[in-house]
Structure 1
Amino acid sequence: MAPLLSRALDPILGVFTGGLAYYLYETNPRTAPPERDRLVELIKWKRAKSQQAKEGQSNAADEEIDWKALASEVERK
């Protein structure tokens, strides 16, 4: 078993090494994925998708409130 550098330095070194390796993978001309498959583009796509879902939920909640108001008006008549 390899000795630890320190309890705090090992995780930091591991995250740095992994981040650097992924950066080199995405920027290497031979192995670079297409522009649409890069991590930044995928994060932007996922964020836009989740924002659209939130807007859809808020619109659905507004419609639900409108239906409740309509139902109460019908019951009054």
Structure 2
Amino acid sequence: MPPVLLHRYVDPLLGVFTGVFAYYLHETHPRTAPPPGQRLTELLEWKRDEMQRKRRERLAALEQQ
């Protein structure tokens, strides 16, 4: 059995929490913050909008046939 620090299920949760918290601090700290328009949430919104636009174009092309 591999060694564990706290508990079998707590260690992975602690690791995920630490990673998410570190990324949050990286994005909000004035020295390391990405330029406007390059934050993860903005990039995800852009990607979602692109996928929706392409889907609408595909559906419109299918309806014209």
Question: Same fold by TM (over 0.5)?
Answer: yes
Correspondences of 1:2-41 after superposition (within 5 Å): 3-4=3-4, 5-41=6-42
TM-score (norm 2): 0.87
TM-score (norm 1): 0.75
Q: Deviation per CA, 1:15-70, whole angstroms, max 9, x where unpaired?
A: 10000000000011111101211001001100100100110111011012xxxxxx
The higher radius of gyration belongs to: 1
Structure 1 runs, 4 residues or longer, greater than 4 Å off: none
Q: How far apart, in 2, do the equivalents of 1:22 and 1:47 lie? A: 21
Give 1 or 2: higher helix fraction: 1
Query: Size of the alignment, in residue pairs?
Result: 63
- Gaps of at least 5 residues in structure 1 are 65-77
RMSD: 1.3
Percent identity over the alignment? 51
- Gaps of at least 5 residues in structure 2 are none
